[in-house]
A and B are shown apart, each in its own frame.
Chain A
Amino acid sequence: MDNGRFELRLTGSGGQGLILASIIVAEAAIAEGKVVTQSQVYGAEARGGTTKAELIISDRHIAYPKVTDPDLVAALTNEGLKQYGGGISRKTVVVIDSSTMALPESLNEEACKTLLALPIRNATVEKLGSELGLNVVLLGIIQGLTEVVSVEALRTAVSLHVKKQYVDLNMRALDLGIEMVRESATTGIRI
C-alpha cells in the first residue's frame, strides 16, 4: 500500500465468486474507515466466461475509480490473466492458482514484484471437501499477503454474506487462505 492506496484486481471465470469476494473486501475496508471503489466487467463474460473484479482501497477520496496500477492481481484462470493482466508492474504482487494454471512465462522478476503460485483449488477441495469456498480461501490469501484489511473485519464481512449453516465452513476457508500464505515459503512457488 503506497501512499495510503491499494489497488486489487481479481480475475477468473464467471461463477467463481470473484465479484462477491471483491465486495467483501470492500465492506471490510469500509468498516475500518477506508474509502473504496469496486467495479467489475459486465455482460456475457459474467455468465461463465472470463471475468474480472476490481477494488481500490484508500485513506482518501478516490478520484479515478478504475484500477490502473494494481498492487495485487489474483488470477484463477490463465485466460483471466491474459485478458485482464494489464497494468502489472514492478510494484505488483501476482497470485495464480497452480492447481489449474501454468506458470506464465511473461511474468518473471522483471515484470512484477512477486509471482506466487499456490494450489488454491486443490487445497480448497482437499481441506474443505469441495470447491465451495474457493473465493473465501482467496480472501484469506489476500489478507495474508497484504493485511490491507484486518482478519477480524474480513470475518465479519464474510459472515454477513453467508447463510448461518455455512459460516463455519467459510471461516475455515478464510483461515486456510491465510495459512497458505504463511506456508507459501515451502508449498508455493515464489519468483
Chain B
Amino acid sequence: MPRIALMQGNEAVAEGALAAGVRFYAGYPITPSSEVAEVMARRMPQVQGVFIQMEDEIASIMAIVGASLAGKKVLTATSGPGFSLMQEGLGYACMIEAPIVILDSMRYGPSTGMPTKVSQMDLMQSRWGTHGDHWLIVYSPSSVQESYDLTIRAVNMAEKYRTPVVILSDETISHLREPITIADVSPTVDRRLPAERAGYLPYKTDATLVPAIANVGTGFRTSFTGLVHSDTGFQTANGHVAEALITRLRDKLLSKLDDIIELEADRVEDADITFISFGITARGVAEAVDVLRTRGKKAGSLRLVTLFPFSDDRIRKAAGNAPTIVVPELNSGQLVLLIKRVFGDSRRIVPLNKVNGDLISPADILNFVAEEKL
C-alpha cells in the first residue's frame, strides 16, 4: 500500500535515494542541505549502508566516486559554496563515467551570499561549473513529491548512463514540508556490468554508447583515469581517440533525449503569453496563470523538469506559439539566455528577475504583466 508522509524536501531527497538503492552517502554540512546528511546518518545504518562525514566537499564527492567504482549507488548533498568545491570531482566522474548523484540546494550567492535565502543562481554552474567540454543530467524539482521522485530517477539515470546527475533544488523546496505519496517499491535500474573477463575492454561500447565497466574488486583489473583514455582505460594523447571519447560522452546522452528530457506544458496551445520557468519559481507561475486565465488573459506555462541536456528543438516544440514569452527566475537572467537562443527574434522574450532572497510570488508576476503591459 502506498503511504502518505509529511516530509521536508531534503528528507524526501534522502528517502528517495534510499528507495532507489543508494547505500553510500558522503557529505559535508552546509545550509540549506544539511538535513540530507542528518537523515542519512540515521537511516544508512538501518539499511546496512554507509554514511560518512568528510573533511570538505572535495573529499565528499571523491568519496562517492570511490564508492561508486566499488559498485554502490551513491549520493552527496550540498549548496553553492560546496558545489563550487565539488566541480573538479564532477568533471572527473564525467570522464571516468562514474554514476553519482549530487543535490545542490541553491542559496543566494555568489560566495557565501545569504545562506538561508533562496535563489536559482547556480543554473549555469550546474551545467558549466567544471572545466572542459562535458555532459551531464540536471533535474529541477518544484515540490517535495518531485524531490522524492526525481531523486529516484536521478539515481536510475546515473546508473543507466554512467554519468553524474545533479538535482538542482533550492532553499525553499529543501525546507518546505508537503505530504508525499511513497510507493511500496520503486523502479530501480542497475548499471550494466561486463560478463566476460576474456577480451574485457572497460571503455568499449556498443550501440548504447554506455560502457559496461566492472566494479573494482571483481577481478576485471580495470584502469580508471581522468586523462583521455582509449577503450582499454589507459591514458593516451592520441587526438583521434580523444575526439572519439568526447563525442561519445556527448552522444551517449544527446541520443537519448526521449528518455532524459521531461517538460511540463500547461495551456500553452492557445496562449498569448507563456511563462518558461523551473523549480520553485514554476509554482508562483502556476498560480499566476490560473489568475490570468480567470481574467480572460490567455496565459500558459512551460516548466523545465529536466534542465540539462537542454534541447532547443524540444523547447521550441513544447512552448506553443505565444508571441510573448516571460522567463521568471531567481537570478539576474540565466535561463533567459538559453530561451533567447531557442527563439531568436521570432518571439518577444521578457526576463523577470528577482534577486532579493524572496520568491517570485503570483502577485509579483501579475504586477509585472500589468506594468509591462504584456
By beta carbon, the residue of chain B nearest A61 is B286
A-B contact count (CB 8 A): 61
> Which residues from B are CB-within-8-Å of A35?
178-179
A68 CA to B179 CA, complexed, in Å:
20
A91 at the interface (CB under 8 A from B): no
A23 CA to B7 CA, complexed, in Å:
10
A66 CA to B116 CA, complexed, in Å:
16
A62 CA to B290 CA, complexed, in Å:
12
User: A37 and B178: CB pair below 8 A?
Assistant: yes
A30 at the interface (CB under 8 A from B): yes
User: B6 and A36: CB pair below 8 A?
Assistant: yes
B361 at the interface (CB under 8 A from A): yes
User: B177 and A39: CB pair below 8 A?
Assistant: yes
> Which residues from A are CB-within-8-Å of B227?
none
Selecting from B168-176, B185-193, B208-216, B348-356, the interface stretch reads B168-176
User: B359 and A66: CB pair below 8 A?
Assistant: yes
Q: Knowing A63-B283, A63-B284, A68-B363, say if A39 contacts B6 (CB, 8 Å).
A: no
> Which residues from B are CB-within-8-Å of A43?
31, 115-116
B272 at the interface (CB under 8 A from A): no
**Among the listed A30, A40, A64, which residue makes an inter-chain contact with B6, where contact means beta carbons less than 8 Å apart?**
A30
User: B4 and A42: CB pair below 8 A?
Assistant: no
**Among the listed A38, A63, A68, which residue makes an inter-chain contact with B176, where contact means beta carbons less than 8 Å apart?**
A38
A interface residues, tally (CB under 8 Å): 19
The 0/1 profile, CB within 8 Å of B marked 1, for residues 22-51 of chain A is 010011001000011111111100000000
A161 CA to B6 CA, complexed, in Å:
13
User: A39 and B176: CB pair below 8 A?
Assistant: yes
By beta carbon, the residue of chain B nearest A37 is B178
User: B175 and A65: CB pair below 8 A?
Assistant: no
Q: Knowing A27-B6, A30-B6, say if A41 contacts B178 (CB, 8 Å).
A: no
Q: Knowing A26-B177, A63-B290, A64-B283, say if A39 contacts B4 (CB, 8 Å).
A: no
> Which residues from A are CB-within-8-Å of B178?
35-38, 62, 65
User: B361 and A68: CB pair below 8 A?
Assistant: yes
> Which residues from B are CB-within-8-Å of A40?
175
User: A26 and B6: CB pair below 8 A?
Assistant: yes
A63 CA to B285 CA, complexed, in Å:
8
User: A39 and B175: CB pair below 8 A?
Assistant: yes
A64 CA to B172 CA, complexed, in Å:
11
User: B177 and A37: CB pair below 8 A?
Assistant: yes
A39 CA to B115 CA, complexed, in Å:
16
A23 CA to B6 CA, complexed, in Å:
9
A181 CA to B172 CA, complexed, in Å:
34
> Which residues from A are CB-within-8-Å of B116?
41-43
B38 at the interface (CB under 8 A from A): no
The 0/1 profile, CB within 8 Å of B marked 1, for residues 65-77 of chain A is 1101000000000
Please name 17 pairs of A and B residues whose Cβ atoms are closer than 8 Å in the assembled complex, sorted by A.
A26-B179, A27-B6, A35-B178, A36-B179, A38-B177, A39-B172, A41-B116, A42-B31, A43-B31, A63-B283, A63-B362, A64-B286, A65-B176, A65-B280, A66-B361, A68-B361, A68-B362
A residues in contact (CB < 8 Å) with B: 23, 26-27, 30, 35-43, 62-66, 68
B residues in contact (CB < 8 Å) with A: 4, 6, 31-32, 115-116, 171-172, 175-179, 280, 283-284, 286-287, 290, 359, 361-363
Given pairs A26-B6, A36-B178, A40-B175, 10 additional interface contacts (CB within 8 A)? A35-B179, A36-B177, A38-B177, A38-B178, A41-B116, A63-B283, A63-B284, A64-B287, A66-B361, A68-B363
Q: Report the 10 A-B pairs with minimum CB-CB distance, sorted nearest first.
A: A43-B116, A38-B177, A63-B286, A63-B287, A42-B116, A64-B287, A30-B179, A64-B284, A63-B283, A39-B176
